[in-house]
Chains A and B, each alone.
Chain A
Amino acid sequence: MLELRHIDKYYNPGTVNEMCLFQDFSLKIEDGEFVSVVGSNGSGKTSLLNIICGSIDVECGQIFVDGRDITHMREYARHGRIGRVFQNPAAGTSPGMTILENLSLADNKGKHFFLGRGINEKRIPYYKEELSRLRLGLEDKLDVKVGSLSGGQRQALALLMSTMTPIEFLILDEHTAALDPKTAEIIMELTDEIVRQKHLTTIMVTHNLRYAVEYGNRLLMMHEGRTIIDAAGEEKAALGVEDLLGRFNEISIECGN
């Protein structure tokens, strides 16, 4: 279980540009939930993920995982139990290394990186099998440098790499936003498949309202650092894209746009 308690987050504290994003923000995510997060730009979606992953600090409040306070745990240490896929397909892989080398690195997550052989040849059939699930033909390109793959291929690989070792949380930061509609569809289906198969607690930020409605079992809509919709189970299943769009418009009117 992941829990944010009374989080305060300011940007540019102490300057004239000080901006309060979160004030007394709390959120609880149960094990096995697949949470879609939507909201306009600047509503705090990505900041929420960054706070959970430790990429940014909070001014006040605490973050708990299974009752353990991780507020002051360093970013890299938190990733022992977190897998993360970024919006930029280049962020999740090492472009100068081959697919095989990238997978070997990911496969070793959670273990020591000492002087053992970097590539375990015995694992190659397993890598090929995993790659063939992507249906992108990457299983025959093990020795190709990742930098020469397309954005969609790289994102699929990044998704595979981030979920290769046992993790508890999968953090998806608009991971289909930089892809063409068809590739985005493939990646989204793949994500759902992996999340179901590995029973991952997932938080997905997306601007695609249809994905937010179709996938996952809980939906959050954020606005100015608050959750204005929090629907789970049947309530979530009943939500449609129109409902979300309607709410978006209401907010815009409130803001005077």
Chain B
Amino acid sequence: MTLIIGILEQGLIYGILALGSYITYKILDFPDLTVDGSFPLGAAVTAAIVTAGGNPYLAFLVSALAGALAGACTGLIHVKCRVRDLLAGIIVMTGLYTVNYRIAGMANVPLFGSETAFDNAWINQLPESLSPYKTLLVIAVVAVLVKVLLDLYLKTKSGMLLRATGDNERLVTTLAKDSGTMKIIGLAISNGLVALGGSVMCQQQRFFELSMGTGTVVICLASVIIGTSVFKNVRWMKPTMAVIIGSVFYRACVALAMNIGLVTTDMKLIMAVLFLVILIVTADRKKKVKNHA
């Protein structure tokens, strides 16, 4: 039972990240590596706020804004300085490493004893019987809220223009709109969500670690690809829902692999190999490898 709750908690947190990556990877067709930096950025901002006694829910918001700023930087570098998409992400990701260290003040920040979004006077009012699930409950609320808001956004005028930007940039130009601006907006929203995920993760594991972002892009893309290809033909399911389920499924696979006796340091290799397996199994491979290699 603890294992399942753990998988759901982690899966839903990475689900928030995957929703962010869904915007760049699937909607904008932009391979964004900024996430490896914006995920720990959210965690660093959160560590700074929470250890200083700040409101943990406010930390969610500030983290998301910080992430959006990082995403906008990648967008500006790509659009205004005409740097290739992959390189723009690498530049910001690398720079964020230092920024994250400065914000957190240390390479490791434990949050023991501080109030978090999952452990505070307000949330502890929940009945005793629910207490093993309270972390999961809060994470689920955040994930569902993000999903619903994203669904609503994609139906607005701005959201539809964002989809058109990824689909056919030229159409956006003939609609007298700057497609570059839409890319910047998309990257900002995407990395805002990734940083929000970082904030949730940091509070859930009560720990900030400078290198926690390594491999984020792999987790995000694996979740997006699993979700969108498995549920491709399920018409009633929105891709946002599919992506969250994909994330939980991916987490379950990793947990299973860990359960057969591998140790924590083996995790990245497991993640990488799993991602490769997913790429090979899904039909997305041909098209995407050609586009992004």
Are A113 and B161 within 8 A (Cβ)? Answer: yes
Segment from A10-18, A31-39, A76-84, A128-136 that makes contact with B: A76-84
Could you pull out 23 A-B pairs where Cβ atoms are within 8 angstroms?
A75-B173, A76-B173, A76-B177, A78-B176, A79-B176, A82-B174, A84-B174, A91-B168, A92-B170, A92-B174, A94-B171, A95-B168, A97-B163, A97-B164, A101-B163, A104-B160, A108-B175, A109-B176, A114-B156, A115-B158, A117-B155, A117-B157, A118-B155
For chain B, give the interface size range: 20 to 34
Extra A-B contacts (12), CB below 8 Å, given A115-B156, A115-B158, A117-B155: A75-B173, A76-B172, A76-B178, A77-B176, A79-B175, A79-B176, A97-B167, A106-B175, A109-B175, A113-B161, A114-B157, A118-B156
Q: Give the docked Cα–Cα distance between A93 and B170 (Å).
A: 9
Are B167 and A118 within 8 A (Cβ)? Answer: no
Residues of chain A within 8 A (CB-CB) of B157 are: 108, 112-118
Are B178 and A118 within 8 A (Cβ)? Answer: no
What's the minimum C-beta distance from B151 to chain A, rounded to whole angstroms?
A: 12
Residues of chain A within 8 A (CB-CB) of B171 are: 91-94, 105
Residue among A75, A78, A79, A94 with the most chain B CB within 10 A? Answer: A94
Interface of A is mostly: loop
Given contacts A76-B172, A76-B179, contact A94 B164 (CB under 8 A): yes
Are A117 and B174 within 8 A (Cβ)? Answer: no
Q: Give the docked Cα–Cα distance between A116 and B155 (Å).
A: 9
Given contacts A76-B172, A93-B168, A94-B168, contact A115 B153 (CB under 8 A): yes
Within 8 A of B (CB), among A119-164: 119, 162
Residues of chain B within 8 A (CB-CB) of A86 are: 170
Residues of chain A within 8 A (CB-CB) of B173 are: 75-76, 79
Q: Give the docked Cα–Cα distance between A96 and B171 (Å).
A: 12
**Complex interface bits, B40-67 against A, C-beta within 8 A gives 1, otherwise 0:** 0000000000000000000000000000
Residues of chain A within 8 A (CB-CB) of B159 are: 118
Residues of chain B within 8 A (CB-CB) of A101 are: 160, 163
Closest 5 CB pairs of A and B: A118-B160, A94-B167, A80-B176, A79-B176, A113-B157
Q: Which residue of B lies closest to A80 (CB)?
A: B176
Residues of chain A within 8 A (CB-CB) of B167 are: 94-97
Residue A233 interfacial (CB < 8 Å):
no
Residues of chain B within 8 A (CB-CB) of A162 are: 174
Q: Pick the contact of B174 from A79, A108, A112 — CB < 8 Å? A: A79
Residue among B158, B159, B170, B178 with the most chain A CB within 10 A? Answer: B170
Within 8 A of A (CB), among B167-208: 167-168, 170-179
Are B176 and A114 within 8 A (Cβ)? Answer: no
Q: Give the docked Cα–Cα distance between A115 and B171 (Å).
A: 20
Q: Give the docked Cα–Cα distance between A66 and B168 (Å).
A: 31
Q: Pick the contact of A96 from B163, B176, B178 — CB < 8 Å? A: B163
Residues of chain B within 8 A (CB-CB) of A72 are: none
Are A119 and B175 within 8 A (Cβ)? Answer: no
Residues of chain A within 8 A (CB-CB) of B166 are: 96
Residues of chain B within 8 A (CB-CB) of A119 are: 155, 160
What's the minimum C-beta distance from A249 to chain B, rounded to whole angstroms?
A: 36
What's the minimum C-beta distance from A199 to chain B, rounded to whole angstroms?
A: 20
